[in-house]
Amino acid sequence: MKTKIKNGLIALTLILLVSCDSWIDPNLNIDPTSPRDVSMNVVLPTTQAAISYVAGGDFYRQLGLFTQHFTGYDRQHLGYYNYQLNENTFENAWNTMYSGPMNDLYILIKKAQELESPHYGGIAKILMAYSLGMISDAMGDIPYSEAFKGVENLKPKYDNQERIYNSIDQLLSSAIQDLSNPKSAFKPGGDDFIYKGNTAKWIKAAYTLKARYYLHVKKFNEALDALKNGFTDNTDDLQFNHGAKESESNPLYQFMQQRGDIYVGTYLINMMNDLNDPRRSAFAEADDEGNFTETSFPGPFYASINSPVPFITYAEAKFIEAEIHMHLGNKSLAYTTYIEAITASCKKFGIADDDINAYINQESVGLGGDDTKLTLEHIMNQKYIAMYYNSESWTDWRRTGFPQLTPIRGDKIPRRVFYPQSEQLYNRENLMAAAPNYNLPIFIFEKLWWDKTFWNP
């Protein structure tokens, strides 16, 4: 009897060993909250929201301290305002972008190609181009060609910034082709939180982004050509509109509710007060006497629960056009588009036509209608106001030297930021190859590729 039981147990063990693959449920150890595959209509909105939180959070807020769009008056932001930066400053932003939305966009681009759905692919490429530009314009060389490989490559090399810019242009060109394709097996609609699947608007956004990056490298004619197919009014703006629920709230609103250690920048408020700028009530909170001061908190347009986070706007496009005409010596065209840019910005913030006209009719703004008086400084100062809460303003200052900011501390304003500590710990060889002076005090004052190659303010 014992022998039969023993033999039976041996036989059962052999059966289990031989057939374990088919006997054990393959879904037994799969986490239902972390599915192996996700549909494109789920990936797209989550990437858009994630990019908005990083752009409108760490990037716009912290880089706005350098442009003096904001004043840091307490805790960490007081330190950042005084250029006390370290490897932890943008650690969260870097890790979030690379492990989150950018990795998801990489997957979405591949998935869209496999499923013959170029409209999804085109949107993903535009968002990837924007993300690369945002990070590279803050840091310089960054991983891209070897990124998003997972365990296959945990130490990706850094692509130099010139190559990053080439990749941005290629992504945008490819996106325009994808979105112009009349056939797409799957098409975005309500899952596209930005344009609701409107491919024509996405194409305009791609062309307008092209103009931004062409301007950075002084490809003026290419930028003008791109603008011909770009935004035509404020309804085209590429921005993420947040919701009225706390879980959907704008990142600047969240920050002000939880931390709130920034004011609207003293330089910006003084400039707007001097010009009697009608946008002040949108940008800043007035005090009890109705005044806008150096202790005004950010105002309702960008700091409300459902405020948008702008990526690139029609007003910016018009300022790009005005600046290019100025560089090319076309003062008459520069002046016309300068006035159009100011008007577009004011309209975006809900300013009435009579107030816009009164603002422009000031000699200090409209120059009495005399286009010969227009200077690059006029254009860039007005663009500086219009670009409140957008890190592109830091790029404008680095390119042109306008507005004429005075350093908060010392005699220099940072021209780049530190890479995160995780890169020094786990990808040090590639980091140091890209940034040999990384551990020196001069690092944050070094010029990036486009900054030292094309501009010398």
Residue 413 structure tokens = 């304003």
Q: Quote the CA–CA distance of 341 and 428 in Å, as a whole number.
A: 44
The whole-number average pLDDT for the span 168-184 is: 98
Which of 52, 129, 53 has its CA nearest to residue 311?
A: 52
Residue 318 structure tokens = 């018009």
Indicate the angle between helix axes 40-54 and 91-99, nearest 10 degrees: 170
- How is the chain split into domains, by residue range? 40-409+426-449
The whole-number average pLDDT for the span 2-18 is: 40
Which of 161, 159, 170 has its CA nearest to residue 136?
A: 161
The whole-number average pLDDT for the span 358-378 is: 98
Which of 429, 454, 448, 457 has its CA nearest to residue 137?
A: 448
Check whether 21 has a pLDDT greater than 90: no
Q: What is the pLDDT of residues 45-72, one digit of tens each?
A: 999 999 999 999 999 999 999 999 999 9
Which residue carries 């309702």 as its tokens?
300
Contact present, 346 and 281 (Cβ < 8 Å) = no
Check whether 8 has a pLDDT greater than 60: no
**How many angstroms separate the Cα of 153 from the Cα of each of 96, 157, 427, 449?**
18, 9, 11, 26
Helix (H) or strand (E) holding 311: strand 308-312
Q: DSSP state, 363?
A: H
The whole-number average pLDDT for the span 351-357 is: 98
Residue 310 backbone dihedrals phi, psi, to 5 degrees: -80, 135
Burial class (CB in 10 A: 0-12, 13-18, 19+), 34: exposed
Which residue carries 């005399």 as its tokens?
370
pLDDT of residue 150: 84
Check whether 34 has a pLDDT greater than 60: no
Burial class (CB in 10 A: 0-12, 13-18, 19+), 73: middle
Q: Quote the CA–CA distance of 326 and 80 in Å, as a whole number.
A: 34
Which of 172, 235, 228, 227 has its CA nearest to residue 201?
A: 235
Least confident span in 5-14, 320-329, 343-352, 409-418: 5-14
Please provide the average confidence, as pLDDT, over all residues in the chain: 92
Q: What is the pLDDT of residues 247-274, one digit of tens each?
A: 999 999 999 999 999 999 999 999 999 9
pLDDT of residue 369: 97
Q: What is the CATH number of domain 40-409+426-449?
A: 1.25.40.390
Q: Between vectors from CA 282 to CA 391 and to CA 71, what angle results, nearest 5°?
A: 50
pLDDT of residue 6: 42
**How many alpha carbons lie under 13 Å from residue 361 in its C-beta half-sphere?**
6
Q: What is the pLDDT of residues 73-92, one digit of tens each?
A: 999 999 999 999 999 999 99
The whole-number average pLDDT for the span 33-41 is: 72
Q: Quote the CA–CA distance of 124 and 129 in Å, as a whole number.
A: 9
pLDDT of residue 67: 98
3-class secondary structure, 341: helix
